[in-house]
């Protein structure tokens, strides 16, 4: 076990993937000599050179579009989009091309492209630097959308995403980049050397996990809101409410089985994410819980998330984002319904 | 018409006049030198057969056998000329009107109609033909082509002087030159010295919009700003189209970077079978271009030098007729795909949502079968 920050764990994971497979290359703006604006690729340009850690022209559609071509040519590009709000120039390439090529070609063309995106808010940034666009991508068949919440998951999941034959949006909760945790580097290495590495990796990165066991309320989160969810569970415990916390890890596919198992025991579900609640991942999860566990529910499924307003200026962001009070309020409401 | 504008015929490389006289060109003439009479007859034959196929497909659409057809009539010289300059290990990224190029890459023409009959979105194996699938989002594939060329260069498939040196040819139209993706592709290709030839068929229309709505200058001039060598060619001249493509491919394969070709041509048909060109262009315009028909031009030349006989023409006519018949029969024999195939290949690895919906759909379908059994 080694102590790492999440940014450091992604860096170590990228390095391991590049050492494992010479076809893996990194592409993005300022990821070379500078090491990325968040320093996630720090040191990789020096060790692997500019041919494998490629500073691209400043054009997101161009980055993703050429990554598609490189993947068709046998490479495994890992693209960095500098900030969530800057992914939209590439939205067409991601949704009409990257997502659909395997289908269009009836399986003849696989596009193992990973798109890393520092996302979500809470860092006092200017416009376009704090957004949570995961629902837009989860709504598109052909893409996988995952987000780690711990350094261990960041280290494992970035390598699993690279090993997967499908395109993956790898959403990095930027506010958690500097949180530290213990990382076991050996487990995923063994998995990725196995015979069915790509299948095992894809399957594992698609599963949620129970992060804290409880019996009264199921609190579902992922990536940016996991720390908040665990804090809320802690505070609720002091008030005598036992909260089970589920870390989804994957938004597409959505591991509703893990949520349903818990929901059928607790009968109460609260979902918390930074993305706007309207048409968000929580709406989909709520629908699934209602469809598949209706008679187990003691209360309506509640969502806590961003509002149907553009992400506000930094002075207001903590009122826009889910807070401990808002999560506890939702927990109270499902308990007293 | 602006004498220096995007529709001018200024500066076009031409090796065969529209009345069928062979011309020379100081820079590009030598790139056609290897085309003997047999090679030209082969090109004439391909153009003739592809046009017959195109007309058959239009008929099939009119008869309700196809949902849509995208005609390429008039653009055969640009496509066959450039297609004949390619080697098997080069790789083509077409837009969606490159049926003649598809033919040069060994795609069996009727197979293209799987797309237009609504069976599937892609209808051939790109690797087997060195010919990528059609892309319907205008210009999006220019970036894929550029990335693929970058992969070729990384694999050491350029600049060795060996026959294995390869390049990508990316086809798109005049409308696509306004797209961001095409401009980004030119940028990425230029700074990476990617071995790619951007082949613009300026057929003068983006559906109804004249090229004058896309550009103030001839499209070939766009290359200069990217540092990409460019050339304007008479796209209705199959010999010149071959020559400039040969030059461009040699440039790209040598590792010297991308090239932009503007083939100035005319879409003699409609944009698609859903379009009505009488709403936006004149009969005079159509008549002017009918006189510049790319197939007639080559035919006049070959007949003039005694290299195309009545038997050749008759043989091509018979082959075209046979292809038309085979196309009709093939298309009508295709059955609707099994419904559950719509869930195939969404992902390469299992995805829980797709699996759940496929299972639900299967149960739903079976519920009708059960009802039938009890009725």
Taking only the tens place, the pLDDT of each residue in A207-219 is 999 999 999 999 9
The 3-state DSSP class for residue B23 equals: coil
Asked if residues B92 and B103 have their Cβ atoms less than 8 Å apart, the reply is no
Nearest C-alpha in B relative to A257: B352
Interface of A with B in 173-212 (CB under 8 A): 198-199, 202-203, 206
Nearest-CA distance from A244 to chain B in Å? 23
Model confidence at B247, in pLDDT bands (50, 70, 90)?
A: very high
The 10 Å Cβ neighbour count of residue A47 is: 11
Distance from CA of A62 to the nearest CA of B (A): 5
Q: Which two tokens stand for residue A246?
A: 């589920």
- Mean pLDDT for each 10-residue chunk of chain A (337 residues)? 97 98 98 97 98 98 98 98 98 98 98 98 97 98 98 98 98 98 96 93 98 98 98 98 98 97 98 98 98 98 98 98 98 97
Q: Which of residues 111-170 of A touch B (CB under 8 A)?
A: 141-142, 144, 164-166
**Residue A312 in contact with partner chain B when CB distance is under 8 A:** no
User: pLDDT, tens digit, for every residue of B265-313?
Assistant: 999 999 999 999 999 999 999 999 999 999 999 999 999 999 999 999 9
Q: Choose among B120, B147, B350: nearest Cβ to A69.
A: B147
Cα–Cα distance measured from residue B351 to residue A206, given in angstroms and rounded to the nearest whole number: 8
Residue B108 burial (CB < 10 Å; 0-12/13-18/19+)?
Answer: middle
B1 pLDDT more than 80: no
Mutate to test the interface with B, among A59, A69, A78 (most CBs of B within 10 A): A69
> In whole angstroms, what is the distance from residue B165 CA to residue A177 CA?
45
Tell me the nearest-neighbour CA distance from B260 into chain A, angstroms: 18
Contacts of A146 (CB under 8 A, 6+ apart): A157, A161, A168, A169, A170, A171, A205, A206, A249, A250, A251
Q: HSE of A122 in the Cβ direction (CA atoms, 13 Å)? A: 21
Does A300 reach chain B within 8 Å, measured CB to CB? Answer: no
- Distance from the Cα of A102 to chain B's closest Cα (Å) equals 6
Q: Which residues of B have a CB under 8 Å from any CB of A?
A: 120-122, 125-127, 132-133, 135, 137, 140-152, 154-155, 180-181, 184-185, 187-188, 191, 344-354
Report in angstroms the alpha-carbon separations of A175 from A62, A155, A257, A271: 27, 17, 29, 20
Pairing assessment for the beta strands A250-252 and A144-146 based on DSSP bridges: antiparallel
- Check pLDDT > 80 for residue B155: yes
What is the distance between the terminal CA atoms of chain A, rounded to a whole angstrom?
A: 44
Q: What is the pLDDT of residue B375?
A: 44
H helix or E strand, kind and range, residue B368: helix B352-374
Look at residues B34, B44, B97 and name the one whose alpha carbon lies nearest to residue B237.
Answer: B44
> Are B144 and A72 an interchain contact pair (Cβ–Cβ within 8 Å)?
yes
| Positions of A marked catalytic | 129
CB contacts < 8 A, A to B, total: 147
Contact B349 A203 (CB under 8 A): yes
Cβ of B349 and A70 within 8 Å? no
Q: Is A253 in Cβ contact with B188 (below 8 Å)? A: no
Question: What digits encode the pLDDT tens for the residues B342-373?
Answer: 999 999 999 999 999 999 999 999 999 766 55
Q: What is the DSSP string of A241-280?
A: --EEEEE--EEETT-HHHHHHHHHHH--EEEEEEEESTTS
| pLDDT score for A102 | 98
Mutate to test the interface with A, among B348, B351, B353 (most CBs of A within 10 A): B348
Q: Which of A313, A275, A258 is nearest to A128 (CA)?
A: A313
**Global confidence as pTM:** 0.97
Per-residue confidence (pLDDT) for residue A21, from 0 to 100? 97
Domains and CATH numbers, chain A: 2-205 (3.40.50.970), 209-336 (3.40.50.920)
Quick: pLDDT tens for A176-192.
Answer: 999 999 999 999 999 99
* Nearest residue on chain A to B341, alpha-carbon basis: A106
Distance CA B22, CA B127 (A): 37
pLDDT in tens, A32-83: 999 999 999 999 999 999 999 999 999 999 999 999 999 999 999 999 999 9
* Mean predicted lDDT score pLDDT of chain A: 98
- Residue B152 reports pLDDT greater than 90: yes
Q: Per DSSP, which regions of B258-319 are E strands?
A: 259-264
HSE of B316, CA atoms in CB hemisphere, 13 A: 20
């Amino acid at each position: 076990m080694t102590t790492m920050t999440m940014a450091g764990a992604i860096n170590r994971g990228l390095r391991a993937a590049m050492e494992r497979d010479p076809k893996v290359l990194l592409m993005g703006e300022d990821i070379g000599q500078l090491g990325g604006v968040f320093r996630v690729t720090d040191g990789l340009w020096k060790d692997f050179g500019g041919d494998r850690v490629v500073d691209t022209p400043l054009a997101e559609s161009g980055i993703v579009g050429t990554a598609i071509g490189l993947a068709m040519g046998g490479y495994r590009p890992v693209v960095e989009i500098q900030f969530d709000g800057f992914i939209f120039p590439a939205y067409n390439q991601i949704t009409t091309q990257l997502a659909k090529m395997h289908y269009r070609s009836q399986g003849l063309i696989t596009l193992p492209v990973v798109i890393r995106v520092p996302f979500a808010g809470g860092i006092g940034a200017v416009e376009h630097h704090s957004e949570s666009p995961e629902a837009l991508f989860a709504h598109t068949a052909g893409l996988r959308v995952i987000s780690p919440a711990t350094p261990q998951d960041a280290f494992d999941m970035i390598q699993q995403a690279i090993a997967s034959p499908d395109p993956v949006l790898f959403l990095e909760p930027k506010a958690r980049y500097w949180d530290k945790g213990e990382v076991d580097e050996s487990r995923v290495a063994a998995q990725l050397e196995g015979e069915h590495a790509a299948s095992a990796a894809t399957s594992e990165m698609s599963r949620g996990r129970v992060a804290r066991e409880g019996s009264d309320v199921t609190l579902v989160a992922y990536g940016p809101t996991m720390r908040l969810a665990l804090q809320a569970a802690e505070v609720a415990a002091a008030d005598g409410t036992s909260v089970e916390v589920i870390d989804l890890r994957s938004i597409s596919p959505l591991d509703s089985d893990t949520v349903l198992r818990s929901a059928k025991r607790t009968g109460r579900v609260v979902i918390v994410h930074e993305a706007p609640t309207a048409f968000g991942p929580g709406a989909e999860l709520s629908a699934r819980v209602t469809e598949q566990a209706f008679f187990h529910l003691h209360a309506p499924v509640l969502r806590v998330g961003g509002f149907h307003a553009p992400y506000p200026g930094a002075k207001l962001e903590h009122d826009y984002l889910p807070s401990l009070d808002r999560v506890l309020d939702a927990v109270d409401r499902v308990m007293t319904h | 018409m602006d004498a220096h504008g995007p529709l001018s015929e200024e500066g076009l490389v031409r090796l065969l006049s529209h009345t069928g006289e062979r011309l020379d060109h100081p820079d590009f003439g030598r790139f056609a030198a290897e085309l003997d009479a047999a090679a030209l007859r082969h090109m004439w034959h391909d153009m003739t057969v592809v046009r017959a196929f195109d007309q058959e497909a239009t008929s099939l659409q009119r008869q309700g056998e196809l949902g849509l057809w995208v005609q390429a009539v008039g653009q055969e010289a640009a496509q066959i000329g450039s297609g004949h300059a390619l080697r098997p290990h080069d790789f083509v990224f077409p837009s969606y009107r490159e049926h003649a190029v598809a033919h040069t890459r060994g795609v069996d023409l009727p197979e293209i109609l799987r797309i237009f009959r609504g069976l599937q979105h892609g209808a051939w194996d790109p690797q087997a033909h060195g010919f990528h699938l059609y892309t319907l989002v205008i210009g999006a594939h220019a970036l894929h082509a550029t990335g693929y060329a970058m992969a070729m260069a990384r694999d050491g498939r350029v600049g060795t002087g060996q026959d294995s040196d390869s390049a990508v040819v990316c086809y798109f139209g005049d409308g696509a030159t306004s797209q961001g993706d095409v401009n980004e592709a030119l940028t990425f290709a230029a700074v990476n010295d990617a071995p790619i030839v951007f082949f613009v068929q300026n057929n003068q229309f983006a559906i109804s919009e004249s090229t004058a709505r896309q550009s103030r200058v001839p499209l070939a001039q766009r290359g200069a700003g990217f540092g990409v060598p460019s050339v304007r060619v008479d796209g209705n001249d199959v010999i010149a189209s071959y020559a400039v493509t040969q030059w461009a491919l040699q440039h790209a394969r040598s590792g010297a970077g991308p090239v932009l070709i503007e083939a100035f041509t005319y879409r003699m048909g409609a944009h698609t079978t859903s379009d009505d060109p009488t709403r936006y262009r004149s009969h005079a315009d159509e008549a002017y271009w009918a006189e510049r028909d790319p197939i007639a031009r080559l035919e006049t030349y070959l007949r003039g030098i005694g290299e195309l006989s009545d038997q050749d023409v008759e043989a091509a006519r018979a082959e075209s007729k046979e292809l038309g018949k085979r196309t009709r029969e093939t298309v009508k024999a295709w059955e609707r795909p099994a419904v559950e195939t719509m869930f195939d290949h969404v992902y390469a690895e299992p995805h829980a949502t797709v699996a759940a919906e496929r299972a639900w759909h299967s149960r739903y379908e079976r519920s009708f079968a059960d009802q039938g059994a009890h009725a």
